[in-house]
Amino acid sequence: MKGKLIGISGYIVKARLPEAGIYDRVLVGERELTGEIIKISGEDVIIQVYEDTRGLG
């Protein structure tokens, strides 16, 4: 599934990802950083990224 990054704050990323499920594992950005969806609000999700997010976005 593909989505769109909306915002980044440290290791937390907000994205628009309409078909996501809570606790889904995802790859974030061109560097494919490992993350996990920790909150869903409509089509927007909050992702906890487990790698360094510097340069993402």
Residue 42 has what pLDDT? 96
- Determine the Cα–Cα distance for residues 14 and 7; give it in Å rounded to an integer: 5
pLDDT at residue 39 greater than cutoff 80: yes
pLDDT tens figures, 10-31: 999 999 999 999 999 999 999 9
pTM above 0.85, yes or no: yes
User: Which structural domains are found in the chain, ordered by start?
Assistant: 4-49 (2.40.30.20)
CB 49 within 8 A of CB 28: yes
- Determine the Cα–Cα distance for residues 10 and 20; give it in Å rounded to an integer: 21
Three-class secondary structure of residue 56 per DSSP: coil
Residue 42 phi, psi (nearest 5): 65, -125
CB 1 within 8 A of CB 19: yes
pLDDT at residue 1 greater than cutoff 90: no
